[in-house]
Amino acid sequence: MNEQDFQNLVRDTNLSQNSREAARLVFVEGWSQTDAGAELGLSKQRMTQIVKVLRTAEQKQKDEADLAALRHGAPIPSSTGHVAALEASYAVAVKAAREAYGDEAYIQTPKVDGKSMGDVIARTDFHLVQSVGRGAVVVHELAKLDRVPAIGKSVAIEYRDGRGTVLDQQRELGRGGRG
């Protein structure tokens, strides 16, 4: 990483000047964490924390750039492949949930052998966002569902062995009432 990229990366962190210098030695100069820590009097644990802060900031910058590109219709670079497209789709799904319920939205993934009930509030290229009440949403991968319900539809999604079956909530309620 060059000096300018490093400065852009640490700009939004709360690292002290000493911690920034230690990170610069590792990320720009190529020093080991141990050597950089010894040079600046920082413990191994502190060096691990510093590197983690920078790796997290680096990933956040990458995710934001991917999301911005996706919003403007740019294709995802082929070098990042399907995983990046899936991650970008998930990021857009989370954004939709936060737009609907604010930053306090409780975002969940489906339980392996569980059920979620509620309205479909958004869909991305690879994900479905389902409101399950009290500001909580479940983000489902479309590839794991047997069918894709329309936005606004009230459904139950039941998982068995990692596969989701989509049921109209009215039909589901009707079945429960016949017992």
Same domain? For 112 and 174 the reply is yes
Q: What is the pLDDT of residues 6-17, one digit of tens each?
A: 999 898 888 999
**pLDDT at residue 63 in the model:** 76
| Mean pLDDT on 144-166 | 92
Sign of the dihedral defined by the CA atoms of residues 14, 87, 122, 176, in that order: negative
Give residue 168's domain range: 103-178
Q: Domain containing 27 — which CATH number?
A: 1.10.10.2690
The closest of 46, 76, 44, 59 to 12, measured between CA atoms, is 59
- Tokens encoding 7: 């400065």
* Confidence check: pLDDT of 65 > 60: yes
Q: What is the total count of domains within the chain?
A: 2
Question: Mean pLDDT for the chain?
Answer: 86
* Confidence check: pLDDT of 82 > 70: no
Query: What's the rounded Cα separation, in Å, for the pair 179 and 177?
Result: 6
* Confidence check: pLDDT of 179 > 90: no
Q: Domain containing 167 — which CATH number?
A: 2.40.50
Among 71, 90, 124, where does a domain finish? Answer: 71
Query: What's the rounded Cα separation, in Å, for the pair 4 and 64?
Result: 19
**pLDDT at residue 13 in the model:** 87
List the single range of 32-36, 72-76, 88-92, 112-116 with lowest mean pLDDT.
Answer: 72-76
SS3 119: strand
Amino acid identity, position 77: P
